Chains A and B, each alone.
Chain A
Amino acid sequence: DAMVIQNPRYQVTQFGKPVTLSCSQTLNHNVMYWYQQKSSQAPKLLFHYYDKDFNNEADTPDNFQSRRPNTSFCFLDIRSPGLGDAAMYLCATSRVAVQGEQYFGPGTRLTVT
């Protein structure tokens, strides 16, 4: 089945230690998104790629970076995680021509110790 895959599902990192979260998709969608979701809150868009074009949300901290080496893969890098970065990180994809429907992965829950 075509899907969005996130690895790992659970990640523990230390304060200040760089961490990378991974997302892959078999849907061949143009657009890939990264969201941050804190407990009992709505997902918050961090940035997205439209093919190779990177689009950062205005309020996304510089501590968060992303890479998309090819259509299938997208990475979220947190350069120096703080305690406030503990959250669920969701990857999603969409086809440009389809109005709004995004397909989400299962998420990676990040714990910062």
Chain B
Amino acid sequence: AQSVTQLDSQVPVFEEAPVELRCNYSSSVSVYLFWYVQYPNQGLQLLLKYLSGSTLVESINGFEAEFNKSQTSFHLRKPSVHISDTAEYFCAVSTLSGGYNKLIFGAGTRLAVHP
């Protein structure tokens, strides 16, 4: 069975500092990996995804994640965070089952950016 582990429940960081949110997964088959962001009282927004090809994927707002098959990881990084990046971040793995896509989410990491 597939599972996702987000190693940090909370990550406090100062504005303009770099950040890494860690995600490890377990799967016996090919995986598709995602990072979603959730701002307070809102739904989840797709931040970036790995389906195939280049192992480094980037988002439009400066985040990037690297798929590492040997370490079964998909860590999220940003070289310089802003106050507006404060949110909950969920790593997820997808499996195609019975004709639909089932997402398995990690428990989430709360990123708190301080001035």
Across the interface, B105 reaches (CB within 8 A) one of A4, A43, A55, namely A43
| B83 cross-chain contacts in A, Cβ below 8 A | none
**Number of chain A residues close to chain B: CB under 8 A:** 27
Contact call A42/B90, Cβ cutoff below 8 A: yes
B99 within 8 A of A: yes
Q: Which of B49, B98, B102 has the most CB of A within 10 A?
A: B102
A83 within 8 A of B: no
Shortest beta-carbon distance from B22 to chain A in Å? 16
A109 within 8 A of B: yes
Complex Cα gap A31–B102 (Å): 11
Q: Is the interface of B mostly helix, strand, loop or mixed?
A: strand
Shortest beta-carbon distance from A69 to chain B in Å? 19
21 cross-chain CB contacts under 8 A: A31-B101, A40-B108, A42-B105, A43-B105, A55-B98, A88-B41, A92-B44, A94-B100, A96-B100, A99-B32, A99-B94, A100-B34, A100-B49, A100-B93, A100-B103, A101-B94, A105-B43, A106-B42, A106-B43, A107-B41, A109-B41
- Point out residues on B near A: beta carbons under 8 Å: 32, 34, 36, 41-46, 49, 51, 90, 92-96, 98-103, 105-108, 110
